[in-house]
Amino acid sequence: AQSVTQLDSHVSVSEGTPVLLRCNYSSSYSPSLFWYVQHPNKGLQLLLKYTSAATLVKGINGFEAEFKKSETSFHLTKPSAHMSDAAEYFCVVVDGGGTYKYIFGTGTRLKVLA
Amino acid sequence: DAGVTQSPTHLIKTRGQQVTLRCSPKSGHDTVSWYQQALGQGPQFIFQYYEEEERQRGNFPDRFSGHQFPNYSSELNVNALLLGDSALYLCASSLSHENQPQHFGDGTRLSIL
């Protein structure tokens, strides 16, 4: 069965420093993977998606993620954090093989320090 | 171009009551999914509707039911409400292919007293 593990529940960085949010997945098929961001009392906004094309995926707001099949990882990075990046981030896996439901990780809360 | 819209934004009910939540998908989308997000948790998949049929269902009891209308809008119904049903309910729309990203509304905050 597919699953996703976000390795850190909380991450704190200083403004202007790099961001790394870690995600590992388990999938029976070639997966589709997504990162979403959720600001307080809001819905989820798509940051980026991997669907078996290029392994390095660029998203919005300077975020990118690299799909590593050998490590079953899909970590999210950003070179320089901004105060507005403070939010909850969710890694999502969708199996191939006709499964349509999203499986969410438990989320990583990113705190950006001035 | 309007995104996914949900109504109401907040709702307070008591145990045993029934509730209906509504969702209008993003223009051009034909598939609607519903999720339950408890406080401090990631969203949990309830079910997905396509062509007015429930296409896939998560691990939720039959008290949770839904409907999709010909204009692709959708309703989520929950009967016999329990305290544990208190959560943010999110609707997401997409095109029907499994690799298409889902676009989320801002949710309905349901509180059970």
- Relative to beta strand B53-57, strand B31-37 is unpaired
Phi, psi of B87 (to 5 degrees): -175, 175
How far A51 CA sits from the closest chain B CA (Å)? Answer: 7
Residue B112: phi and psi, rounded to 5, are -110, 125
Residue A85's domain spans which residues? 3-113
Give the angle subtended at the CA of B76 by the CAs of B72 and B79, to the nearest 5°.
Answer: 155
Biggest CA–CA distance in chain A, Å, is 45
pLDDT confidence band for A99 (50 / 70 / 90) = low
Q: pLDDT tens across B23-53, in order?
A: 999 999 999 999 999 988 899 999 999 999 9
Which residues on A lie below 8 Å from B105 (Cβ)?
43
Q: Are B44 and B36 in contact (CB under 8 A)?
A: yes
Distance CA(A18)–CA(A14), nearest Å, equals 8
What's the fold here for domain B5-112?
Immunoglobulin-like (2.60.40)
Tens-digit pLDDT profile for residues A18-41: 999 999 999 877 788 999 999 987
Q: How many CB atoms lie within 10 A of CB A16?
A: 12
Confidence of residue B98 (pLDDT cuts 50, 70, 90): low
Which chain B residue lies closest to A96 (C-alpha atoms)? B98
Rg (CA), chain A: 14
Residues of B in contact with A96 (CB under 8 A): 98
CATH of the domain at A96: 2.60.40.10
Nearest CA in chain A to B35: A102
Who has greater pLDDT, B89 or B56?
A: B89
In terms of Cα–Cα distance, which of A26, A47, A20, A43 is closest to A35? A47
pLDDT band at A96 (very low <50, low <70, confident <90, very high): low
What is the reported pLDDT for B94? 92
Tell me the pLDDT of chain A averaged across its residues.
91
Number of compact structural domains in chain A: 1
Chain B residues touching residue A101 (CB < 8 angstroms): 33, 45, 48, 56, 58
Mean pLDDT of A67-90: 96
